[in-house]
Structure 1
Amino acid sequence: MAEADTPLRFTEVSKSFARGPARVQALDRLEITLQAGTVTGLLGPDGAGKTTLMRLATGLLRPDTGTVTVLGADTRSQVNTVQGEIGYMPQRFGLYEDLTVQENLDLYADLQGLSRKDARARQQELLKLTALGPFGARRSGALSGGMKQKLGLACALLRAPQ
């Protein structure tokens, strides 16, 4: 399978965590190859390793063994390349609640290296998509849970991920 056809590949990936004196095995020799153009669901009970898998795929964690490649880039040696090509929205609200919706969007646009012109155009598109347009001046901490999720999604998608 060509590299362009495999946006995400886990090869013999294992990851464990310390829990007191013991170790908990989150993933054990995981093998996954996703094909481009497909939708894949990640389902499982609490503690099955779903969040660990996502953090490994984004380069936020390193595998104990094995390799993770995203769009052909190794998450160990090319983490900046990986993070520059994907959009990641964490499970919990990770934005600044004392900033307004617009200020959060501006901050994330700056962090992602977008020009002011490109940022404004993309922000308008995302504000419309998420129906957050009328709330640009509202402090993020005053948003409902669902609106916070929408803002998190908009921030994750500012630089259109592959």
Structure 2
Amino acid sequence: MPTPEFILRLREHIGHQLLWLTGVTAVVIDGDSRILLHRRADDGHWAPPGGIVEPGEQPAAALVREVYEETGVHVVAERVASVVTEPPFTYANQDEVQFLDIAFRCRPIGGEVTPGSDESLEVAWFKPDELPAMNERVMRRIRHARQEGPAWFSG
């Protein structure tokens, strides 16, 4: 995935040190209860679309942008599903990050399902009982988005 320009500028000053970022995850659910996933180009794993909120950008707007860029699908963010601080993570290049992830439940409103950029290898809809293997953090976001009620957060 291409690194946003603002992060590259920050890295010039802080090197590989821990960088706190806001991320958004879209759990897109269609009228047949299928979930939109893309197979990420950076690691080959299936995941809901999402990305990093740019400076001055609203989280829901970032989410809509990222979903379209990665999948070709236009969405509307319906509600916040969860807000979680994820554990720190170190990329292969030794850059350290920690994300505050805001997961949204979304519904598709148009577009064509296709890898929209070099960030996605494949894009597909999956029935909830036929999801590919994904890590527990991703599965937690999907579970919370599929549930009705208020957003989930850790106390």
* Bucket of the pairwise TM-score, normalised by the shorter protein: under 0.3
TM-score between both structures, scaled by the size of structure 2: 0.25
Structure with the greater relative contact order (CA < 8 A, sep ≥ 6): 1 or 2? 2
TM-score between both structures, scaled by the size of structure 1: 0.24
- Flag the structure with higher helix content: 1
- Of structures 1 and 2, the larger Rg is shown by 1
